[in-house]
Structure 1
Amino acid sequence: MDDSLSRQNSPSGGLTSALASEACAPGEGSPQPIGAPEDWMMPFSDFLQRGNLPDGATDARRLVQRAKSYKLAGGQIYRRSASGVLLQCVPPKEGKKLLLDIHAGIYAHHAAPRALVVKSFRHGFYWPTALTDARDIIRTCKG
């Protein structure tokens, strides 16, 4: 994937982690394409690509407000972080795999849930259930 977008506003020059490249290597670990079923990104992609809004004024207003933080580039959705760096949006399944790699992988970072999430976001990935997923991983860890 073109990570020039993540370098755009990043003082460090973007993703340079082996973990990031492993988590999104083409094939089995690559993120689902936009439009995949059960995808939390579907409402954002529909709105950003076609301007489709959900039924109901409240849901439509909420989506328009939240979509201001998202960009569509090269068929992939990115979320702008508070520091202005674009984070690649991934499905929860890929996010959990990333957290497991950080927590119990080669570098075994057995830390608090929030620290795991910060580390995954620092590597340039985003999904909305990250903190809940990290709590579940740590709660079930036997190490």
Structure 2
Amino acid sequence: MEKIRHVHRGENGRADALASLAASLGLSENKEITITVGARRILQPYEKVAVDVQMEEVLTMSKRLEGQDDPLDWRLPFMEYLQGGRLPDDRAKRAEVRRRSVQFVMWKDILYKRSLDGMLLRCIAKDEVEDVMKEVHSRTCGAHQSGPKLQMQIKRSGYYWPTMIADCIGFAKRCQASQFHGDFSHNPPEPLHFTVCSWPFAAWGMDVIGAIHTTIIKRPPIHLSGNGLLFEMGRSNCLKRC
């Protein structure tokens, strides 16, 4: 009695692929071909690539400046907390570092930020920002994008700093090529201001001139009117006040 064993599709992927390939090619029974199976990855997996000097040479747009000696470096509080658990003396700053530190990770003495899509963004110092924006905006494969688009391109390149949006918008506005070939903006040079009425009812073209004095127009304040009906109805109904 022969036994039949069921093999799951996940464990029998190569045989399934060969059967699908043979059915699609429509080969005859006597014809044989050689199938070459290549690796799916040309480069090494991301987990096995060491972030060392070789990786820094590939990313030539950035200098290897950690800025640990600069007390004004925005990365220093997060690096000290992740490496040694040290927090700033200021209470508000200490709470901010503790709250935001979950977004950062230290790897090979370099600070990275976790993005929403799971990509690790290398945190750079302020003195590297100008070089990164210049390289992405106008150098190799640069298309002189606008500020928000430039910020998105830098993130896709793997870099991060806190004031990315404001810095990219300002850099794109200062670009001479973007000013020449960009869309013409009809925005006013300064914010519009509200117009204050010079006097009450000015919007309707009216003004209050005061009471009409009878001594000026030589007319009593009450006169008769009735359009010919003065004697058909009471006189009190035909009085009008000026």
User: TM bucket by the smaller chain?
Assistant: 0.7 to 0.9
Match of 1:39 in 2: 73
1:138 aligns with 2:172: yes
1:102 aligns with 2:136: yes
| Normalised TM-score (structure 2) | 0.47
* d(CA) in 2 for partners of 1:73, 1:36: 19
Structure 1: gaps (5+ residues): 9-19, 25-29
> What is the Cα deviation at residue 40 of structure 1?
1.1
> What is the Cα deviation at residue 92 of structure 1?
2.3
Name the larger-Rg structure: 2
* d(CA) in 1 for partners of 2:69, 2:152: 26
- Tell me if the contact between 1:92 and 1:129 (Cα under 8 Å) persists in the aligned partners: no
1:75 aligns with 2:109: yes
When residues 117 and 59 of structure 1 are mapped into structure 2, their CA distance, relative to the original with a 3 A threshold, is same
1:23 aligns with 2:61: yes
Match of 1:13 in 2: none
SS for the counterpart of 2:116 is coil
- Tell me if the contact between 1:99 and 1:134 (Cα under 8 Å) persists in the aligned partners: yes
1:88 aligns with 2:122: yes
RMSD over aligned Cα, in angstroms?
2.0
* d(CA) in 1 for partners of 2:94, 2:73: 18
- Tell me if the contact between 2:113 and 2:122 (Cα under 8 Å) persists in the aligned partners: yes
Instruction: Work out the number of aligned pairs and report it.
Output: 123
SS for the counterpart of 1:72 is strand
> What is the Cα deviation at residue 34 of structure 1?
5.1
* Runs of 4+ displaced beyond 6 Å: none
| Normalised TM-score (structure 1) | 0.77
SS for the counterpart of 2:74 is coil
Map Cα deviations across residues 66-103 of structure 1 (whole Å, 9 max, x no partner). 00111111110010001111111111221221111111
Structure with greater contact order relative to length (CA < 8 Å, sep ≥ 6): 1
